[in-house]
Amino acid sequence: MRKICLLGGTGFVGRNLINSLIKAGWQIRIPTQQRERHRDLMLYSNLELVSTNLHDQEQLN
């Protein structure tokens, strides 16, 4: 299974990309500051929401 980190995955364009990526068999990781606000995305078994701050270099490693 191919993996992707989708920046902006909780936004308008990102949410539209999610369906296409899932249908194509991708494993998706989405960094977000407010994981609990996007519970609807947790329904996908091959999608992971990761609580992180993109401005913190250590969290991105």
Instruction: Please report the pLDDT score of residue 56 as a whole number.
Output: 81
> Domain boundaries in the chain?
3-60
**How many C-alpha atoms does 30 have within 13 Å on its Cβ side?**
27
pLDDT tens digits for range 27-49: 999 999 888 888 888 888 999 99
Is residue 25 over pLDDT 90? yes
More confident of the two residues 35 and 13: 13
Q: Give the position of tokens 């992707």.
A: 4
Q: Reading across the β-sheet that carries 27-32, which strands appear in turn?
A: 3-5, 27-32, 47-51
Q: What is the mean pLDDT of residues 1-7?
A: 92
- This prediction has a pTM of 0.80
